[in-house]
Amino acid sequence: MKKFFLFAIIAVSTLLTGTGCDLDQAIQELEDSLNPTDPEYVISVHRIIRYRRGEELERYIDTFSGAKVCVNVNPFLHSRNVKKIELSPRQGDPGFYDLVLHLDKRGQMLWSSIAIQYRGEKLGLVIDGIFYRAFMPNIPNPDDIDSKTGSVTVLLEGPVDQATANGIVKFSEKNYRHFNR
């Protein structure tokens, strides 16, 4: 037990001196290294397939309601492209939210591509391999570019229930770090 505490103290002091004055980030990195976990609430965006034609690329996945939906297994967008997610309350729909996605550079290009190519077509939001809901991608506006970071924010319209939305938000940054090591 003494060795563990000694190791923890050395690790914390090393992280604090190596990372500068960003104490919160150093503590988060220490927690991540001491408690390695699989990513949770991993989101991905897939094309919904109406009539299955391919055996390898098109598969049926479960929905939260127990039904099955056929999707292309290659995601257009994944948690590895989403730096951070925030909630936006839905007007007239208390307890449900839209998701505000802060995308990295690759995510910006992917989102712009799918928003144009699949305009008017529904895509599927998949959470941890389970189909959550269908949505239509919107084309980002120039106003959606953050002047400080240069990242684009896009609105993924819900409704997303509060428990699921909170889980997605809680793990979004951790998932981004995990997939971009």
Q: What is the distance between the alpha carbons of residues 150 and 114, in angstroms, rounded to a whole number?
A: 20
Q: Which two tokens stand for residue 109?
A: 């290009």
User: How many structural domains comprise the chain?
Assistant: 2
Q: What is the pLDDT of residues 151-178, one digit of tens each?
A: 788 999 889 999 999 999 999 999 999 9
Q: What is the pLDDT of residues 72-99, one digit of tens each?
A: 999 999 999 999 999 999 988 889 999 9
29 lies in the same domain as 53: no
For residue 159, what is the domain's CATH number? 3.30.1360.200
pLDDT interval class at 145 (50, 70, 90): confident
pLDDT averaged over every residue in the chain: 85
What pLDDT was estimated at residue 158? 83
pLDDT score of 33 more than 90:
no
Residue 24: give the domain boundaries: 1-36
Q: What is the pLDDT of residues 50-64, one digit of tens each?
A: 988 877 889 999 998
2 lies in the same domain as 77: no
Q: Which two tokens stand for residue 35?
A: 């408690």
30 lies in the same domain as 70: no
32 lies in the same domain as 46: no
